[in-house]
């Protein structure tokens, strides 16, 4: 392993050859890196696309790139150059995990596809990420916005009588990365038991359909095509933002007991006794009448006042924050949302959302400059 590689994390000793770029693949490899894997990020001469996605920036480095590349080493390899390709193949031959997200078939011409790599490294866990799979959608480029549109998510997002909207972050890229990381960990466990490597394939569209959960199941299970409902929920009411005397507040009553408590704290206990509203299906059916009564009560106090009163009785509610507000709320709640790498660059990034009692994630390296570790990695590949 490379010098100073040991991390003490649960994936200590696992070498990841990261031939991915943009978001889904780099997110997956950052998850592995946080857990102690040694990740070598292979970039072409121009670097990862996200290095150029500016603004915003920190010290002229795109924050998009910074968000998904900590704890990695960067080496620039031009796969069209014979010497660089030879180093790429050396890396693939040593890797425990290899991950790539070129268009399907794109690694074949370099001899870095799964069959070629497995021929010399049969125990490798090889993960390929695409936009729309390796069959009929192999020619389609993989961008999150396309997945949001084609999966149906955008048809569910926005006002009922308005235009479809994308979600404000590349959620299916992130979720595909998470699914890839989970699959890689499962495959490593299988390899530990059997010595066998394997090929893993995932794609944005399949992830999107899986992660639309109840909305997709409404169609495949009941033949119902869900439609846009603004901020309302098709099966739960109340479950949406509602205006108060000075703003808006998310108000949720996800079961009968919560609804009774909500009615009491709002000063309308009789509403909970109405047999029409006794069950969730009844409340969904009569949502307009119930909403009118809720709005009348919420208009009597401020968002902060209602937030305190409703939270005090154990009912879920909350203000609609900016990103700044979300980070500050996490700080107030002791969640320590920001992690700073323990190196000279000391770049702050968003902390891993999982706590481990024995083997916590570590933040050893700031996202690397392009090719920052090239000399060291080359020497290790050629002489190690």
Q: Which residues are catalytic?
A: 173
DSSP-derived 3-state class of residue 167: coil
Q: Give the largest CA-CA distance in the chain.
A: 79
Q: In whole angstroms, give the CA distance from residue 164 to residue 381.
A: 50
E strands in 161-247: 198-203, 239-243
Name the token pair of 186: 């499962």
Q: How far is CA 43 from CA 128, 157, 315, 332, in A?
A: 16, 35, 49, 39
DSSP-derived 3-state class of residue 178: helix
Name the token pair of 21: 């770029």
How wide is the angle at C-alpha 361 spanned by C-alphas 355 and 366, nearest 5°? Answer: 135
SS (H, E, C) 91-107: HHHHCCEEEECCCCCCC
Q: Are 103 and 138 in contact (CB under 8 A)?
A: yes
Q: In whole angstroms, give the CA distance from residue 196 to residue 182.
A: 17
Burial 344-369 (b: 16+ CB within 10 A, else e): ebebebebbeeeeeeebbbbbbbbbe
Q: In whole angstroms, give the CA distance from residue 381 to residue 377.
A: 6
Q: Are 102 and 113 in contact (CB under 8 A)?
A: no
DSSP character at residue 5: -
């Amino acid at each position: 392993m490379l010098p100073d590689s040991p991390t003490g994390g649960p994936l200590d000793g696992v070498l990841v050859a990261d031939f991915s770029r943009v978001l889904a693949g780099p997110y997956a490899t950052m998850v592995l890196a946080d857990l102690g894997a040694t990740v070598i990020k292979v970039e072409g001469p121009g670097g990862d696309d996200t290095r150029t996605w500016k603004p915003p920036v920190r010290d002229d480095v795109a924050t998009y790139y910074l968000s998904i590349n900590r704890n990695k080493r960067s080496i620039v390899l031009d796969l069209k150059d014979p010497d660089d390709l030879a180093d790429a193949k050396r890396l693939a031959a040593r890797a425990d995990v290899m991950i790539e997200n070129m268009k399907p078939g794109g690694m074949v011409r370099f001899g870095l596809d799964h069959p070629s790599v497995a021929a010399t490294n049969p125990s490798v866990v090889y993960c390929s990420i695409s936009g729309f799979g390796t069959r009929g959608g192999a020619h389609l480029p993989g961008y999150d916005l396309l997945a949001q549109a084609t999966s149906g998510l955008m048809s569910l997002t926005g006002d009922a009588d308005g235009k479809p909207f994308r979600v404000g972050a590349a959620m299916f890229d992130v979720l595909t990365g998470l699914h890839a990381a989970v699959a890689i960990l499962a495959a490593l466990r299988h390899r530990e038991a059997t010595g066998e490597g394997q090929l893993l394939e995932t794609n944005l569209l399949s992830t999107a359909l899986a992660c639309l959960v109840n909305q997709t199941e409404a169609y495949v299970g009941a033949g119902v095509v869900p439609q846009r409902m603004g901020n309302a929920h098709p099966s739960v009411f109340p479950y949406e933002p509602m205006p108060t005397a000075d703003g808006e507040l998310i108000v949720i009553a996800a079961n009968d007991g919560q609804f009774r408590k909500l009615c009491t704290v709002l000063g309308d206990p009789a509403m909970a006794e109405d047999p029409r509203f006794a069950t969730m299906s009844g409340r969904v059916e009569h949502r307009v009448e119930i909403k009118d009564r809720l709005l009348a009560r919420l208009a009597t106090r401020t968002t902060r006042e209602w937030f305190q009163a409703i939270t005090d009785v154990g009912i879920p509610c909350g203000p609609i924050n900016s990103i700044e507000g979300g980070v500050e709320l996490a700080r107030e709640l002791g969640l320590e949302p920001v992690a700073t790498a323990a190196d000279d660059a000391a770049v702050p990034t968003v902390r891993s959302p999982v706590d481990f009692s024995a083997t916590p994630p570590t933040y050893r390296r700031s996202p690397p400059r392009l090719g920052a570790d090239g000399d060291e990695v080359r020497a290790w590949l050629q002489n190690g």
